[in-house]
Structure 1
Amino acid sequence: MAKESTPHEPQVPESELESTVDTPTSEETAAETPSHEEEIQALKDQNLRLYAEFENFRRRNARERLDLMATANEKVLKSVLPIVDDFERALKNIAPDSPERVGMELIYTKLMNTLKAEGLKEMESTIGQVFDVETMEAITNIPAPSPDMAGKVVDQIEKGYHLGSKIIRYAKVVVADQQPA
């Protein structure tokens, strides 16, 4: 049905009127709105990412908890090390056959076993080794007693200790100077 034309409106056939109206086609609406499968896939991806993020959080939290427990032990163990040093000095100055030495050795052994159970490890003796800045602290230098001892450790003032893989106290040593040429 054609409209009657009025003097102000140009006459346009009905078929042209329908084509000029912007109505989205079914293909255009399908492209603009995601299908149910795409929406499901997007939600699955989001769920997977959230699950992975939660697992990472859980692992990180467990690792931080273990680190915290290790650091708490570190502080206590570091404070006990001077007592261990005193025990060792006392044992060096007590006669080997005295009954006091037997009691001191018993207490020292129990203390050291307890500290080892907490993860404390004594560093190997450093006497005769080349000075290593990674594991040793030089207290002083003395002239080398022989040319082959130059740059090596000649005495150990305090032992060094590890807690797991971390050094909690560096070995305090005396190093022989290089001899002048």
Structure 2
Amino acid sequence: MKTGKDKNTPDSEEQVNNLENIEKQDAAVENETIPADHQMPGVPTDELSKTEEELSEMKDKYLRLFSDFENFRRRTSKERLELMKSGGEDVMTALLPVMDDLERAKMAMENATDVNAVKEGLELVFGKLTNVLQQKGLKPMEAKGQPFDADLHEAITQTPAGDEMKGKVVDEIEKGYYLNDKVIRFAKVVIGA
């Protein structure tokens, strides 16, 4: 038989019942959901409404910003497509007079008896074409006699050459071109070996 009481042991059935009731209330509170219109304790109503208004304003600003960005994206994509379609328009317009000259030269060649006159005409048209292309930024690449550079030249073959032409471009099969200092066609060359 015990003479002393354990501190954790309840004194009576009433205390046991009280403990069980407290545990049931705690479990009910944990499982309970708080309704949306329930006032939070310690938060004034005007502060809560002010916070809700700020949230509403921020949502509105976000939607407007998102809408503006979508409009900007669509407009930019449309402008890009239009630019791609008409990007070469200025070059084509500049080449039309050269095309007219070529047509006139073609008609003149049909009835021409003097080969030198035809040759001079073609040289004039070629000079005009070269000037138009240079105005638009096209520049021919000088490769013959230069050291071979893989960033500018495409080697087709090698040929035996003297010591002074070893590793240099001996012959140019196809001319290379720059457009505004960017290589748009590599020169096809023969390298001295």
Q: TM-score, normalised by structure 1?
A: 0.55
CA distance in 1, matches of 2:77, 2:182: 20
Which protein is richer in helix relative to its size? 2
CA distance in 2, matches of 1:63, 1:45: 27
Deviation at 1:171, TM superposition (A): 1.0
Match of 2:139 in 1: 122
Q: Which has the higher contact order (CA 8 A, sep 6+)?
A: 1
Match of 2:19 in 1: none
Deviation at 1:106, TM superposition (A): 0.9
With over 3 angstroms needed to count, the CA separation of the structure-2 counterparts of 1:64 and 1:116, relative to structure 1, is farther
Equivalent residue runs for 1:17-166 within 5 Å: 24-25=38-39, 27=43, 35-70=52-87, 98-117=116-135, 119=136, 121-146=138-163, 148-164=164-180
Report if aligned partners of 1:126, 1:156 keep a CA contact under 8 Å in 2. yes
1:95-147 Cα distance to aligned partner (Å, 9 max, x none): xxx43332121111222234445x3613321122221222221121112322x
Structure 1: which 5+ runs fail to align? 1-19, 78-97
CA distance in 2, matches of 1:156, 1:165: 20
Q: In structure 2, the residue corresponding to 1:35 is in which secondary structure?
A: helix
Question: Identical aligned pairs, as a percentage?
Answer: 34
With over 3 angstroms needed to count, the CA separation of the structure-2 counterparts of 1:111 and 1:167, relative to structure 1, is same
Match of 1:175 in 2: 191
Larger Rg: 2
Structure 2: which 5+ runs fail to align? 1-28, 96-115
With over 3 angstroms needed to count, the CA separation of the structure-2 counterparts of 1:101 and 1:69, relative to structure 1, is same
Q: Letter of the 2:167 partner, please give it.
A: G
